[in-house]
Amino acid sequence: MPLNMIVCCKQILDPEDPPASFKIDPASNKVIPPPGVAPVVSPFDEQAVEAALKIKDQQGGKITVISLGNNLLRDVVKKPLSMGADELILLEDPAFEGGDSWSTAFALAAAIKKVGPFDIIFCGRQAADWDAGQVGSGIAEILGIPSVTVAKKVEAADGKAKVERVITDGYQVIEVTLPALITVSNELGEARYATLKGIMAASKKQPVVWKPADIGVEPSQIGEAGRKTKLLKLFQPVKEGKCEVIEADTPTDAGAKLAARLREAKVI
């Protein structure tokens, strides 16, 4: 049976950028984006798209992607389309900026209500920038639907989904009634690459852009204004001390010397 699926995708700074290029502006408590480095779709969200595509491959269906932000780069946010998603909705406005899990989930839930009936909403387990891990559960709570988090496999049949949920040293198989929200973890596996055909198709598609008024929310409820958490301080931890590099004539000697030094320092 074809399913109606929604995937929430966030545009973020590339988490694979080298740590040395990571800088913070302490005055504004904001990250300074490294110059000349393109943002990406958060990898967990790409895997959420992959989970939806796997179901679409099997039984057909429609995948609507929703991204929230301001000045979103079309080449970045269109990637799910080039992977095989069908539609892209952008919640794009300065008022959407600077949100926390609360204001983000609130806006996404309002947009999902406007999209209409769905079977499954997929989200990444967390965004790979703030790593908060709350938006998926928040959307489910606002919409009053069940949620299963940190999935590594999802199958759907007869109005239910069977989800393998990652737990410590293993997984649980959970059956959930649809409609439901499922957050996806990296154990699902690498997301597929965009095909040339997909890229061509995506380039012809125009995203639908919704403003706060289009989804019936007040600017005071979203973005910075809608936050429930206050960010007091964003900082880079000071690395304590320097590494004591053990020198010796040969690597073998260095290995033995390291062991002796660790014993001396009561580390082992």
Scan residues 58-97 and list those touching other proteins (CB under 8 A). Answer: none
Q: Residue 154's closest CA among 47, 37, 11, 42?
A: 47
Residues 6+ apart with CB under 8 A from 9: 41, 42, 45, 46, 48, 49, 65, 66, 67, 77, 80, 124
Q: How far is the CB of 123 from other proteins (least distance, A)?
A: 11
Binding residues for other proteins, rule CB under 8 A, total: 83
Site string for other proteins, 125-164 (x = CB under 8 A): ---xxxxxxx-xxx-xxx---xxxxx-----------x--
Stretch that binds other proteins, among 55-63, 69-77, 79-87, 176-184 (CB under 8 A): 176-184
Residue 262 engages other proteins in binding (rule: CB under 8 A): yes
Placement of tokens 């606002």 in the chain: 142
Instruction: Decide if residue 254 touches other proteins (CB under 8 A).
Output: yes
Q: Does 32 bind other proteins (CB under 8 A)?
A: no
Site stretch for other proteins (CB under 8 A), options 50-58, 65-73, 88-96, 181-189: 181-189
- CA distances, 198 to each of 8, 45, 79, 81 (Å): 19, 18, 9, 7
122 scored as a contact of other proteins (CB under 8 A): no
220 part of the interface to other proteins, by CB under 8 A: no
Q: How far apart are CA 39 and CA 216, in angstroms?
A: 29
| Nearest distance, CB of residue 148 and other proteins, angstroms | 7
* Spatial distance between the Cα atoms of 64 and 45, rounded to a whole number of angstroms: 13
- Paired tokens of 268: 């082992």
